[in-house]
Amino acid sequence: MNPFLVKTPSLVKRLNPSWVWSFPQETNAVYLTFDDGPIPEVTPWVLDILNEYNIKATFFCIGENVKKHPELFRRIIAEGHSVGNHTNQHLNGWVTNTETYISDVEAASEILKQNNSNRESTPSLLFRPPYGKLKPVQSKKIKQKGYSIVMWDVLSFDWDQSISPEKCLENVQLNLEPGSIVVFHDSLKAEKNLRYTLPETLEFIIENNWNGLAIS
C-alpha cells in the first residue's frame, strides 16, 4: 500500500511545522512543483506549456540531471521559474546515513550554483527531500544551512503507473485550492499521466481565476 495520501493531513503538517506545506489561501495562488528533472524528454514540453498559460512553477532538480542537461536548467531560470535542490543522486533520507546525505545535498547545491548564470552568487535555498523522506537530524542540518524545506499539500501521483491519467487529474482537481503546493514530476515514469493532467490543470487554474506562482 502506498503510504502517501493525495491531500496531506493537518496532523502530518503539525508534526513538522517548520517545513513549508502550503501558503495562505488569501494569496489566491497555487504553486505547481516538478521533481526529478531536468530531462530532455519531458522538461522542455513542461516549460512550453507553462509559457503558453503564463504560469510560473518551481523545479526541484536532481544535481546529476542538471550536470547532464545544464541548458535545460538554465532555460528554467531564464523563463522565470524557481529552482530547488532535490539532492544530487535522489537519495532516500530514511535509509541514508546523515553524513552521506548532507554531502549529497551539498554536491547538488554546487552544481546548481555553477549552472545558475543569472544568480551565480545566490544558490537556491529551496529543498525538497526525495520521496518526502528525511530524518530529523538531516532536517536540522539542512535548515542550519539556510534552506527552506518545501513539501506539499497535494500529490498528483503522476509517477504511479497503476493509475489512469484521468485518476491523476482527479487527484489534483478535487484537492487543489488557493495556497496549495502540488507535486508533479518531469520524469519518464510520470510522463504518460503528466501529459494528460498538466494541460487540464492549467485550464482549471485559469477557469478559477487563480494565479500560478513560483515559490521564492
Give the catalytic positions in this structure.
35, 185
Cβ burial, residue 162 (10 Å; 0-12/13-18/19+): exposed
Query: Do β-strands 154-155 and 82-85 pair in parallel, antiparallel, or remain unpaired?
Result: unpaired
Is residue 115 within 8 Å of residue 76, measured between CB atoms?
no
Q: In which residue are the cell numbers 513542461 written?
A: 46
CA distance 43 to 69: 10
Whether residue 38 is preceded by a cis peptide bond, meaning omega within 30 degrees of 0, is yes
Helices 43-53 and 191-207: crossing angle in degrees, nearest 10, is 10
